């Protein structure tokens, strides 16, 4: 049986910038030779990406049309379990990020004081309470506009998730290594189509920085 690989990519734009990604490990440590090499290669790719960026922006509505009409994906019905689960989790996540005041006393992100068993247990309990509180907030107070587009072939299951209000483009895929690599290029293609305006380029906005990062990846 051929092994399947699973991948997920997320880019969150908007005026507040991308969601933070926290990496654990190698704190204050020296970079390995491989890490130094990879960092140098990334700088070269980033320089090429910067030089290649041109003003050619499209709206999220146009991106959705592009995924359907040009790439052949089909929109997932909002009544399907898959859509409901992703919508529920994403709405809660976005609410905690963009409207935390709606959570009252749970508005602030809990802090992990130390790493003993009891502290970890309390920390994760607080995170779970915050998640459930976010899910319980009425959609009249906070909502998202999520669209999921899926496609299944012999060697690949893939999807794009587009959230229009906060300008999110994300993807997920599962399949053979060769097909996964092709899909990575497809994700880049979608993000390039989303593009940037001349103002984004001139002011180095978050939208511009994210495009450069995707191109340099």
Biggest alpha carbon–alpha carbon distance for the chain: 53
Give the pLDDT of residue 114.
84
- pLDDT tens string, the chain, 217 residues long: the values are 444 555 555 544 443 433 333 333 454 567 888 888 888 888 888 899 899 999 999 999 999 999 999 999 999 999 999 999 999 999 999 999 999 999 999 999 888 888 888 889 999 999 999 999 999 999 999 999 999 999 998 889 999 999 999 999 999 999 998 999 999 999 999 999 999 999 999 999 999 999 999 888 8
Give the pLDDT of residue 217.
84
Exposure string (b/e) for 19-52, b if CB count within 10 Å is 16 or more? eeeeeeeeeeeeeeeeeeeeeeeeeeeeeebeee
Q: What are the φ and ψ backbone dihedral angles of 156, each rounded to 5 degrees?
A: -155, 135
Give the pLDDT of residue 151.
96
Give the pLDDT of residue 2.
45
Contact 197, 34 (CB under 8 A): no
8's enclosing H/E stretch is strand 5-12
**CA–CA separation, 63 vs 59, rounded Å?**
6
Q: How far is CA 10 from CA 93, 140, 161, 169, 213, in A?
A: 13, 26, 9, 6, 12
Q: Residue 152 pairs with which residues in a beta bridge?
A: 157
**CA–CA separation, 5 vs 133, rounded Å?**
34
> What is this structure's pTM?
0.79
Contact 19, 12 (CB under 8 A): yes
Give the pLDDT of residue 69.
97
DSSP string of 35-90, one letter each residue:
HHHHHHHHHHHHHHHHHH-------HHHHHHHHHHTT--EEPPTTSHHHHHHHHHH
Three-state DSSP class for residue 139? coil
């Amino acid at each position: 049986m051929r092994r399947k690989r699973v991948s997920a990519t997320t880019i969150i734009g908007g005026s507040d910038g991308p969601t933070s990604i926290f990496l654990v490990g190698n704190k204050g440590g020296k970079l390995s030779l491989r890490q130094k090499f990879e960092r140098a290669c990334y700088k070269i790719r980033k320089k090429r990406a910067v030089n290649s960026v041109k003003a050619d922006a499209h709206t999220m509505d146009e991106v959705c049309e592009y995924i359907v009409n040009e790439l052949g994906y089909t929109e997932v019905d909002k009544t399907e379990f898959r859509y409901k689960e992703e919508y529920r989790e994403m709405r809660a996540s976005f609410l905690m990020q963009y409207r935390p005041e709606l959570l009252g006393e749970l508005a602030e992100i809990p802090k992990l004081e130390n790493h003993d068993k009891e502290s970890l247990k309390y920390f994760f309990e607080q995170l779970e309470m915050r998640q459930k509180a976010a899910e319980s907030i009425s959609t009249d107070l906070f909502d998202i506009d999520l669209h999921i587009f899926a496609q299944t072939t012999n060697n690949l299951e893939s999807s794009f998730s587009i959230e229009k209000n906060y300008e999110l483009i994300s993807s997920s895929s599962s399949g053979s290594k060769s097909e996964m690599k092709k899909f990575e290029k497809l994700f880049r293609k979608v993000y390039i189509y989303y593009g940037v305006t001349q103002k984004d380029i001139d002011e180095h906005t978050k939208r511009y920085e994210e495009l450069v990062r995707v191109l340099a990846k």
